Structure 1
Amino acid sequence: MLSSFYFIGDKHLLTLIDPHLRSACLKSILSSTLCILTALLFVTPSHAASWEKEFPQAQLIGSGEFRWFGLSIYSAKLWSAQKPFDINAAFALELTYHRKISRQQLVKTSMDEIKRLSNGRYPSDKLQHWETELSDAFTDVSNGDKLIGVFLPGRGCYFYNQKSLLAEIPDQELAQAFFGIWLDKRSKDSELRTQLLGRP
């Protein structure tokens, strides 16, 4: 019998197709589908990129721990292609959190420090824009979560977690202000700064 039924959604379509031709068509469709799926598996989207792959020449410069009233808040590592460290060259700051902290708190703490260190240098509209940028980039963190900021001269900063790229912010001025929280000479934790820079 030449007739056969195909089901598409809730509809029955009666087709008169030779069984051999039908079999060949199905094999062709399955083969094409398999090729597409295989190709998709080997295409890595930008948001699945890790910071190490984007910055393979990075070397560990120094590391330390940030504590607040004796409580360990996060561990920090500074990576750079330049040794000794050059703040004008590409670098990455890797933070591994030991406490649960909300995105809102991360943003607020960052902006408070940026404002303190800038000493009124930046207008309020710019600070508000930066706060929005950081809010879009950050996520809530828990014990063991990582947040990595990568500074690229002339390009701004990239933010990653341990799994993927979170955000690209092409703002050199914001990048310098943000990383100044840890690297500026007036950083609140001068001991951590010294450890990150690999100084005795």
Structure 2
Amino acid sequence: MAQGAEGAVSASPAASTPLAGARLVGQGTMRFLGFEVYRARLWAQPGFDADQYSAHPLALELTYQRNFTAEAIAKRSIEEMRRVGSFTPQQATRWQQALQAALPDVKPGDRLLGLYQPGAGAVFKMGGRVVGEVPDAEFSRLFFGIWLSPQTSEPGLRQELIAATRTAGQGQP
């Protein structure tokens, strides 16, 4: 899937780059029981190392194919973050509330962009404007780990998102 779409996204990279100096690293589709949930695209700056994703600024865009409430997204995100790392029940409650407040409800076609800054937190944009922030470095590392950590529940999607890092001179056979 990522292979066929790569040519289409390179058409005007400057116009669609959500992070200064970044390039599209990969894209893929999240499916559940055969239904499309969202399409994901990852941007990162040159030198991005997927195995050390939390050391690099990045942008992750999700284009939803279904309706979801902010509450449902936040709850599921906390569940998925537990696969990436451990945190206290108090952190889970605080983070779920912060994420629910930061995110809008979404409908098919909505594009939600998450910007990750190592050590700072996450900023969420929709339609080019900031809709919310979670200024917590540990939350942000685990949140973006939902897609980028080797412990993700969706390793196939992770591989599609980091596709360009695997072909950009890592010397793997």
Post-superposition CA distance 1:91-129 (Å, at most 9, x none): 0110000111111111111011112332xx211111111
Q: Do residues 65 (structure 1) and 29 (structure 2) align?
A: yes
Q: Do residues 159 (structure 1) and 118 (structure 2) align?
A: no
Partner-residue secondary structure (3-state), 1:93: strand
Alpha carbons 2:39, 2:63 under 8 Å: kept? yes
Q: Residue 171 of structure 1 aligns to which amino acid in structure 2?
A: D
Relative to structure 1, is the Cα distance of residues 168 and 93 closer, same or farther in structure 2, using a 3 angstrom cutoff?
A: same
Q: Do residues 91 (structure 1) and 79 (structure 2) align?
A: no
Q: Which has the higher contact order (CA 8 A, sep 6+)?
A: 2
Alpha carbons 1:82, 1:89 under 8 Å: kept? no
Larger Rg: 1
1:156 deviation in Å?
A: 1.3
Alpha carbons 1:61, 1:83 under 8 Å: kept? no
Alpha carbons 2:83, 2:151 under 8 Å: kept? no
1:83 deviation in Å?
A: 4.2
Mapping of 1:77-156 within 5 angstroms? 77-86=41-50, 87=53, 88-118=55-85, 121-156=86-121
Mapping of 1:160-179 within 5 angstroms? 160-179=125-144
Aligned to 1:15: none
Identity %, equivalent residues: 33
Aligned to 2:153: 188
**CA–CA separation in structure 1 for the residues paired with 2:128 and 2:45:** 22
Q: Residue 62 of structure 1 aligns to which amino acid in structure 2?
A: G
**CA–CA separation in structure 2 for the residues paired with 1:196 and 1:176:** 17
CA RMSD of aligned residues (A): 1.8
Alpha carbons 1:114, 1:177 under 8 Å: kept? yes
1:167 deviation in Å?
A: 1.6
1:84 deviation in Å?
A: 4.5
Alpha carbons 2:17, 2:23 under 8 Å: kept? no
Partner-residue secondary structure (3-state), 1:67: strand
Aligned pair count reads: 147
4+ runs deviating over 6 angstroms: none
Post-superposition CA distance 1:63-114 (Å, at most 9, x none): 0000111101100000011244451111011000011111111111101111
Q: Residue 76 of structure 1 aligns to which amino acid in structure 2?
A: A
Unaligned runs of 5+ in 1: 1-50
